[in-house]
Amino acid sequence: MNDYRNPPIVEAVCEFRFSSDTPWDNDLPDRFYDAVRDHFPIRESRKGQSLEIKTNTTGIEGHRVETIDIQVFLAKDRKMLVQLGPRGLSIHCLRPYPSWEVFRPMIRQAYEAIASLTGGIRGFDRIGLLYIDKIEIPGERIRLEDYFTFYPHLGEGLPQEVENFMVGCDFTYKDRDICRLKLTQAMPEKQNTLAYLLTTDYFLARKDAVKPDDAYAWVEEAHTEVKALFKGCITKKLEEIFDQEE
């Protein structure tokens, strides 16, 4: 993923959603800012939405959409940021993606700050590691199989000219995790190119299946699997494009 001169990553996100019994005081954003301001000195506020779905034995009973305040803490160049919402923490790295060795300690710093300030994380509703890759290939027409090993298969009885497509798979890991892989067409940024979005979303699918002390190990394992899936999706011909000088 970042083993190339020009990695296609446009955003990487590590997200933690904490259990409802995790302490969360109103002044937590202020104290969190004090803990991370050396790396994230810019503070902003944004609005978001939270969806709560109530279920019973027969299915969905109802739902509620709530507007929430999200505190955003940004690095000076605004290429890295942390978002803090009600019992939610996400760390974002935008293009140009530096490396896992740079992103990883930012994840650790933010997570350890929250763990310390709350007095201890009680559990997780979700942990996720998301990578969004925008891949641009020169040409007005290509054969997908020349560049991808993950692409839509068209049988002989189907039209072969495709205007647009979306293909996806969910892969299971360790009876607790899912990695959702998607490939779609996108709008190119360069002339005479075709663009594709490859999204790799690895997340904890079983609530509380990972203990708070094991969260960082989970993130490391998730990164290993995401990197392997990305490598498995592309061909040597596409890797050569990532290694070209801009």
Distance CA 116, CA 246 (A): 43
Q: What is the pLDDT of residue 1?
A: 58
**Per residue in 154-203, pLDDT tens?**
887 877 777 788 999 999 999 999 999 999 999 999 899 999 999 999 99
In this structure, are residues 219 and 107 in contact, taking their beta carbons and an 8 Å threshold?
Answer: yes
Q: What is the pLDDT of residue 54?
A: 52
pTM, 2 dp: 0.89
Lowest mean pLDDT among 56-65, 77-86, 217-226: 56-65
Q: What is the pLDDT of residue 49?
A: 59
Q: What is the pLDDT of residue 64?
A: 57
Q: How confident is the model over 124-152, as a mean pLDDT?
A: 94
Residue 96: is the preceding peptide bond cis (ω within 30°)? yes
Q: How confident is the model over 64-84, as a mean pLDDT?
A: 89
Q: Which two tokens stand for residue 146?
A: 């020349």
**Per residue in 9-47, pLDDT tens?**
999 999 999 999 999 999 999 999 999 999 999 999 987
Q: Would you kindly state where each structural domain of the chain is located, as residue ranges?
A: 9-154+163-242
